[in-house]
Amino acid sequence: METETSRNAILCVDDEAIILITLQKELRKQLGNLFQYETALNAEEAMEVIDDLVSAGVNVILILSDWLMPGIKGDEFLILVHQKYPNIRSILITGHVDAAAVDRVKKEAGTYTVIPKPWDVNKLMDAVRVCCNLN
């Protein structure tokens, strides 16, 4: 039997599989089964995952995205998502970012914050809780 909360998802996007596994484990450890935890290795795959989830009636609450990825960079991806799905919140997690991209993603995608890699788990989870209205 599906609960209301299982109809909500958090999507992690990074071109490094180990980062996705780590993020997923940390989210599950901190938030339990409040959400579905989905992953994608690039922006194109992530957009397909979002479209599929939305089509299935799943509410994508939050995207945690890397910035430096092959193809579409994280800021461009989050802006595209925001244009199509303005209610999805986002957090950029990155080891490399330029100031212009940070300003742009905050302004054009409404990105909540940019968290540096390696991330501080408490800062990351505080931001996730804010974006998911859990605080």
The answer, yes or no, to whether the previous bond of 116 is cis (omega within 30 of 0) is no
The 10s digit of each residue's pLDDT in 108-135 is 999 999 999 999 999 999 999 999 999 7
CATH superfamily, region 8-132: Response regulator (3.40.50.2300)
> Is the full-model pTM beyond 0.95?
no
User: Whole-angstrom Cα distance, residue 129 to residue 59?
Assistant: 16
